[in-house]
Amino acid sequence: MTYAIVETSGTQLRVEPGRFYDVDRLALDVDDQVTLDRVLFVSNDGESVVGQPVVEGATVVGSVVSHLRGRKVIVYKMQPKKKTRKKQGHRQELTRVMINSIEMNGKVIAGESAPAQADAPAKAAVEAEAES
């Protein structure tokens, strides 16, 4: 299983290709490509690369799915014995990003147009038997 840990908008996320994640609002339109280049860690089938602080040449490519708002958070401040109460709500503006691929030095290691998986020779053997 291939995954990466990226830093975006002040938070760190563990991302995998084919999944979507909610990050703080990005100034992009829906279906635009987004490239996250602050990759802190990459794990590719047991091989790990740790950045110091970022992994050189590693990028995560995704696309913007939608813009939405997060759950409402209530902020309630009260000073006892002073008859002071303040109630305020907040909804964070978010962008939903679908992760398409993880790249190392310009080569896709996971996701769209990734190299054939380890079971590709097995599929070739099954196809060869079917032709016989």
87-115 pLDDT, tens digit per residue, is 999 999 999 999 999 999 888 998 887 65
Structural domain spans, the chain: 3-110
Q: What stretch of H or E contains 131?
A: helix 120-131
Angle at 20 between CA 103 and CA 108, to 5 degrees: 15
DSSP designation for 94:
E
Q: pLDDT of 43-56, one tens digit each?
A: 998 899 999 999 99
The residues that bridge with 110 in the sheet, in sequence order, are 102
pLDDT category at 14 given cuts 50, 70, 90 is: very high
| Whole-number average pLDDT of the chain | 88
Least confident interval from 2-11, 57-66, 108-117: 108-117
Rounded Cα gap, residues 96 and 106, in angstroms: 25
The residues that bridge with 15 in the sheet, in sequence order, are 4
Rounded Cα gap, residues 3 and 7, in angstroms: 13
Q: Cβ of 61: how many Cβ atoms within 10 Å?
A: 18
Mean pLDDT within 78-95: 96
Instruction: Say what the pLDDT of residue 129 is.
Output: 54
Q: What is the SS3 assignment for 79?
A: strand
